[in-house]
């Protein structure tokens, strides 16, 4: 099954649940969206995901750049409060299963959006897509994770 088709089917289920239980949103954000995002990124970028869970990074490039991947279907992405990843790649997954790159670059560049914030209980900061997109526009090409040739 292709990811874009799976996303469409899951959103139909969420809509049906929300109709029956209107007090709840039943958003797909969380582990499911994160896992979908990691697969989309691996399919479109020069990244190989680690097997299972690794602390601080989700995969690496063929030349050894370690990358933390974050995905959302909302208007914010999370950024760790307890470390700065070597590279940070954040995407927004749309309702049709496609995605938009929000940030692709050094973790220290993305960290600029949260560097003055106090630590959080969850060890995650929330950053607006707008703020990350602004920082992304200043990332040098050589500091980006490359897309795969067929994407």
Strands 59-60 and 66-72: antiparallel
**pLDDT band for position 30 (cuts 50, 70, 90):** low
**What residues form DSSP beta bridges with 72?**
92
Helices 3-20 and 31-44, packing angle to 10 deg:
160
* pLDDT at 31 (0 to 100): 74
* pLDDT at 29 (0 to 100): 75
* 124 CB-near residues (< 8 Å, 6+ apart): 78, 79, 80, 81
* 72 CB-near residues (< 8 Å, 6+ apart): 29, 33, 37, 78, 90, 91, 92, 93, 129
Run of H or E including 38? helix 31-44
Residue 86 scores a pLDDT above 90: yes
What average pLDDT score do residues 89-103 get? 96
* Segments making up each domain of the chain, as ranges: 3-143
C-alpha span between 70 and 37 (Å, rounded)? 7
Q: pTM here?
A: 0.86
What phi, psi does 82 have (nearest 5°)?
A: -105, 0
Run of H or E including 128? strand 124-128
Residue 53 scores a pLDDT above 80: no
CATH of domain 3-143: 3.40.210
């Amino acid at each position: 099954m292709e990811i874009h088709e799976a996303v469409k089917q899951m959103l139909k289920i969420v809509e049906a649940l929300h109709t029956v239980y209107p007090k709840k949103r039943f958003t797909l954000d969380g582990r499911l969206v994160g896992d979908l995002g990691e697969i989309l990124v691996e399919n479109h970028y020069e990244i190989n995901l680690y097997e299972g869970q690794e602390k601080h990074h989700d995969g690496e490039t063929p030349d050894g750049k370690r990358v933390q991947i974050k995905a959302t279907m909302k208007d914010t992405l999370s950024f760790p409060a307890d470390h700065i990843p070597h590279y940070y790649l954040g995407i927004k997954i749309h309702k049709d299963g496609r995605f938009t790159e929000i940030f692709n670059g050094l973790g220290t560049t993305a960290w600029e959006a949260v560097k003055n914030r106090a630590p959080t209980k969850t060890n995650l900061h929330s950053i607006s897509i707008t703020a990350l997109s602004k920082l992304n526009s200043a990332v040098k090409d050589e500091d980006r994770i490359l897309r795969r040739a067929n994407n």
